[in-house]
């Protein structure tokens, strides 16, 4: 911005420009301000302090034609400056552009459930799912299955997992993806620490949230172990007709350990 534009802007804004005609005491050395290249005429020996470009009162820098057309030029300049100021003001007052966030996929709510896990010997990991608070003799039925397979003398380790892991009434509800990440990671870490040959996934929750791979059939291979899908102990107690197919599956999978007819 040169001196003429600066003076015009200040004049339109109602700010008076003041330029001293002599060097003030203790003032810094004067320097020539930037003038318009087409309108300013350098005069040798002229005062280094330029007169107000908006007033155009120095006769050495103006011709008769410039003096005649000065009011029209100032009016046109004033209109142009007002338009520029209005454009700048409108730009600053324009509401910020809002970028719409991507729509998140709907969360799938998961009802609370419990996973009972057993390690039978060093080769079998059992994961059974059921609803919390269900008054069913699950432990007794499981002991009968183990006894029928002649595994009741093998060492056994039991663990119980709850979902959600912590009850938070004030926080957001945890969805299916979080449950799947939690329990599939738990299964992978457990098998990495103590590898097994068979993993029983009993019930829909254990099959949906614990399996690290998609289950497309009753027996699937994963990381050197067999994932076997079975009905839950709760379903076996409520619908005993599922016990026959389960027993045939166990006898075909573990022929050496099952009871002979």
pLDDT digits (tens, 9 = 90+) for 13-51: 878 777 777 778 788 887 777 767 665 445 555 555 444
Residue 218 and residue 201: Cα distance in Å, rounded?
Answer: 10
What global pTM score does this model have?
Answer: 0.57
The pLDDT > 70 percentage for the chain reads: 67
What does the angle CA 142 – CA 148 – CA 151 come to, to the nearest 5 degrees? 80
Q: Is the C-alpha dihedral spanning 70, 76, 82, 88 positive or negative?
A: negative
Quick: pLDDT tens for 61-113: 455 555 555 566 666 776 776 677 666 666 555 565 555 555 545 567 788 89
Question: Quick one: how far is CA 79 from the chain centroid?
Answer: 49
Structure tokens belonging to residue 2: 């040169």
pLDDT for 60 equals 45
pLDDT for 83 equals 74
Residue 223 and residue 227: Cα distance in Å, rounded?
Answer: 10
Quick: pLDDT tens for 177-232: 889 999 999 999 999 999 999 999 999 999 999 999 999 999 999 999 999 999 99
Q: How confident is the model at residue 176 (pLDDT cuts 50, 70, 90)?
A: confident
Give the residue with greater pLDDT, 11 vs 163: 163
Give the residue with greater pLDDT, 256 vs 178: 178
DSSP 89-105: HHHHHSPPPPPPPPPPP
């Amino acid at each position: 911005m040169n001196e003429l534009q600066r003076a015009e802007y200040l004049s339109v804004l109602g700010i008076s420009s003041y330029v001293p005609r002599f060097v003030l005491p203790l003032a810094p050395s004067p320097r020539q301000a930037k003038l318009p290249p087409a309108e300013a005429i350098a005069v040798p020996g002229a005062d280094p302090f330029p007169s107000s470009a908006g007033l155009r009162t120095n006769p050495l820098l103006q011709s008769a034609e410039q003096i005649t057309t000065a009011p029209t030029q100032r009016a046109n300049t004033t209109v142009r400056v007002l338009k520029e100021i209005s454009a700048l003001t409108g730009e600053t007052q324009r509401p910020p552009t809002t970028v719409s966030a991507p729509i998140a996929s709907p969360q799938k709510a998961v009802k609370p459930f419990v996973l009972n896990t057993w390690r039978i010997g060093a080769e079998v990991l059992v994961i059974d799912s059921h609803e919390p608070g269900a008054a069913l003799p699950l432990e007794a039925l499981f002991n009968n299955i183990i006894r029928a397979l002649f595994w009741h003398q093998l060492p056994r380790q039991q663990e119980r997992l709850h979902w959600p892991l912590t009850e938070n009434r004030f926080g957001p509800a945890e969805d299916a993806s979080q449950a799947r990440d939690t329990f599939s990671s738990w299964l992978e870490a457990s098998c990495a620490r103590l590898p097994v040959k068979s993993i029983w996934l009993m019930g829909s929750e254990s099959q949906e949230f614990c399996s690290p791979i998609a289950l497309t059939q009753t027996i699937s291979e994963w990381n050197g172990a067999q994932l076997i899908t079975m009905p839950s102990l709760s379903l076996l107690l409520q619908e005993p007709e599922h016990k026959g197919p389960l027993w045939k599956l166990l006898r075909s999978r573990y022929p050496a350990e099952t009871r002979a007819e």
